[in-house]
Chain A
Amino acid sequence: MIISIASSVRFPAPEFENHTLPVMGLESYISDATLWRVLLLSIFLMISGICFHRCRSRKAMLLVCLAGLLVFGFLFKACPCPVGLFQNVADSVVNGQSISAGYLLLFTIPLASALIWGRLFCSGVCPLGAVQELISLTTIQIPNAIDRILRMLPIQVLLVSCVLAASGALYPLCYLDPYLPLFTWSFTFPFALLTIFFLIVGSFISRPFCRFVCPYGALLRFFAIFAAKPPSITNSDCINCKLCEQGCPNNAIFPPEDQTSTVLHTTGRRRLSLLVACLPLALFTGGVIGHFSAPLFAQLHPDVSLVGDLQADRQTSATRSFALTGESLARLQAHAIRAQNKISIGMSLGGMLFAACIMAELIANSRRREHDKKYSIDSGLCLCCGRCYQACPLEKIHVHGTSEHEK
């Protein structure tokens, strides 16, 4: 049997008498830890659910955090991590990109657990959350008004990432993730600055990435709002001591509605109707802003930037390789235009969706919550850290009282 190579064979392979070709043996180099990840993720969620809802203990939550950091952060290198998988899903839905069942499970299990128990994934199973939880030395509470604005950012990041991933450009979250270099221990220049920034900010503001950037957090928040068994402070009568509100660094506890104020009633109602009336206008504005910001994001698409470089006669490694491949410029341009269209449509839709989210938040905030007579947790914002359980004086009586009673 003679073996010859289809492409350039300059030197035909010699025929040896007593030498057999070594086997490359590459097939044995395969390992896929996705199944382990899925299994461990479910176990961790179970454990943190028990720690949070049954034991109601901050110390146990910190232990889960540490374990989560070691296993998902340092053992599995936090990549691929459920936090970024929404991009794969978006890519898969729009472009038909393959996605394995394991990845889909990694993506949906935290969402499912959020629907049952609130954002347990964020409590410490997520390695990025765990880093932030463990490095926060002191916590400065951000004023509620600023927090309300900043907490809209993740939704924006989510929408833009989805559009970019679905257009086949790049997965932006993989670059934005400031903690990933800590696990893989490889720092590249502009992104290392992000890491340093978030590490410093994270030492005095609780969970800056989770609350103001993380797009998966935005998804989890949406699911956790409708949790069947959400995190809750004292089941018994709250004495309105405010201790939990002060104890929560994530602004997730809202105070009871002021039952005595009747003056605001009519103005409140007027404001609500005004908001509802403004809804179409807001949607339109969002769509327009999205549409006009699209060219900016389109530059991130490799085909679009390559066409730009070729037209401006800039020498980059991409243009050099393009000359080598000998592909036609027309085909590349067609690809680029298709990508631009995708991004343009996506950004317009995204802008509208974002406007809708802002309006929903405003409307939810101007609604009168008649039956809120106690301090309660916003399950969408609560990161299940357990600090408020520690702070509440009734909690101590409750938990310890029942345990003594059982003895």
Chain B
Amino acid sequence: MKRRYFINSLLTGCIAAPFTLLFRQSEDVETGSKTLWQIDPEKCTHCGKCKTECILTQSAVKCVHQYASCGYCLFCSGYYQDKRARFDTAGENLRCPTDAISRTYIEDPYFEYKIDEDKCIACGKCVKGCAAFGNGSLFLQVRQNICLNCNQCRIAIACPSDAFVQVSPDKPYLFKQLQKDET
């Protein structure tokens, strides 16, 4: 039975081996290990798969609004349908199927748009509208508090635009580029 213990101790060594992977990572990535899934908003083509492919019943992806790049448009193309009858808040004129976007009057002629996270189902319709005619300030992000952080994100494989990347827990969200000029 000596041989058995010999092999046992050898295998114990093997178990420690994977941990060397940690050292390799910390060397070449200054931002830490990239272990969370996220959508690169610049690459996403709002195909709608984020809604259906997530292993959760309610997708872990949600729409977010980057207020700083929003034009506060009166006729928001993320808010209204392309073929709307009137610019009012009747359901048939609005893009969002779940009425997750609400708007508040700020000052003439500007409105602020807000996403109700509980209602958003990540269909990407508003994102498409905003990207087509607006500033692209609405985009989809994986909500790290809902996401299970699967071994491999199901949506990442289904995503036709290869928009899924991995990010480090220190910077878990990806925003659109802002250019700041000090004046």
* B145 CB contact (under 8 Å) in A21, A30, A79, A325: A30
B93 within 8 A of A: no
Give CA–CA (A108, B19) in the complex, Å. 9
Query: Are A226 and B57 within 8 A (Cβ)?
Result: no
A321 within 8 A of B: yes
Give CA–CA (A228, B49) in the complex, Å. 49
Segment from B67-75, B83-91, B119-127 that makes contact with A: B67-75
Segment from A46-54, A83-91, A206-214, A244-252 that makes contact with B: A83-91
Q: Which residues of B contact A228 (CB under 8 A)?
A: 5, 8
A80 and B57 in contact (CB under 8 A), knowing A11-B73, A99-B33?
no
Query: Are A92 and B21 within 8 A (Cβ)?
Result: yes
A104 and B134 in contact (CB under 8 A), knowing A174-B154, A185-B57, A321-B161?
no
Segment from A2-10, A58-66, A253-261 that makes contact with B: A2-10
Query: Are A324 and B169 within 8 A (Cβ)?
Result: no
B78 within 8 A of A: no
Give CA–CA (A324, B12) in the complex, Å. 51
Query: Are B144 and A320 within 8 A (Cβ)?
Result: no
Q: Which residues of B contact A316 (CB under 8 A)?
A: 160
Query: Are A84 and B176 within 8 A (Cβ)?
Result: no
B182 to chain A, nearest CB (A): 6
Query: Are A324 and B8 within 8 A (Cβ)?
Result: no
Interface size for B (C-beta < 8 A) is 74
Query: Are A7 and B177 within 8 A (Cβ)?
Result: yes
Query: Are B152 and A170 within 8 A (Cβ)?
Result: yes
Query: Are A186 and B57 within 8 A (Cβ)?
Result: yes
Segment from A12-20, A133-141, A355-363 that makes contact with B: A12-20
* B71 CB contact (under 8 Å) in A7, A14, A24, A325: A14
Give CA–CA (A80, B114) in the complex, Å. 32
A21 and B68 in contact (CB under 8 A), knowing A98-B166, A171-B152?
yes
A223 within 8 A of B: yes
Q: Which residues of B contact A4 (CB under 8 A)?
A: 178-179, 181
Give CA–CA (A108, B13) in the complex, Å. 11
- A window 176-207: CB within 8 A of B: 180-181, 184-186
Query: Are A1 and B150 within 8 A (Cβ)?
Result: no
* A104 CB contact (under 8 Å) in B19, B65, B157, B182: B19
When C-beta atoms are compared, the residue in chain B nearest to A230 turns out to be B4
- A window 82-125: CB within 8 A of B: 84-85, 87-89, 92-93, 96-101, 103-104, 107-108, 111-112, 115
* A108 CB contact (under 8 Å) in B15, B45, B148, B149: B15
A267 within 8 A of B: no
Q: Which residues of B contact A186 (CB under 8 A)?
A: 54-57
When C-beta atoms are compared, the residue in chain A nearest to B56 turns out to be A184
Q: Could you list which residues of chain B lie within 8 angstroms of chain A, going by C-beta atoms?
A: 4-5, 7-8, 11-12, 15-16, 18-19, 21-22, 24-25, 28-29, 33-35, 42-43, 45, 47, 49, 54-57, 64-73, 106-107, 110, 112, 114, 133-136, 141, 143-145, 148-152, 154, 157, 160-162, 166, 168-169, 172-173, 176-183
Cβ contacts A to B, 26 pairs, < 8 Å = A1-B182, A1-B183, A2-B181, A5-B176, A7-B176, A8-B135, A10-B135, A13-B69, A21-B68, A22-B67, A24-B65, A26-B172, A32-B144, A77-B56, A79-B148, A79-B151, A80-B150, A97-B166, A98-B168, A101-B19, A111-B15, A115-B12, A174-B152, A174-B154, A317-B160, A318-B160
Q: Could you list which residues of chain A lie within 8 angstroms of chain B, going by C-beta atoms?
A: 1-14, 16-17, 19, 21-22, 24, 26-27, 29-32, 34, 76-77, 79-81, 84-85, 87-89, 92-93, 96-101, 103-104, 107-108, 111-112, 115, 165, 170-171, 173-174, 180-181, 184-186, 223, 226-228, 302, 316-318, 320-322, 324-325
9 A-B pairs with least C-beta separation: A11-B71, A321-B160, A171-B152, A98-B33, A317-B160, A318-B160, A321-B161, A100-B35, A98-B34
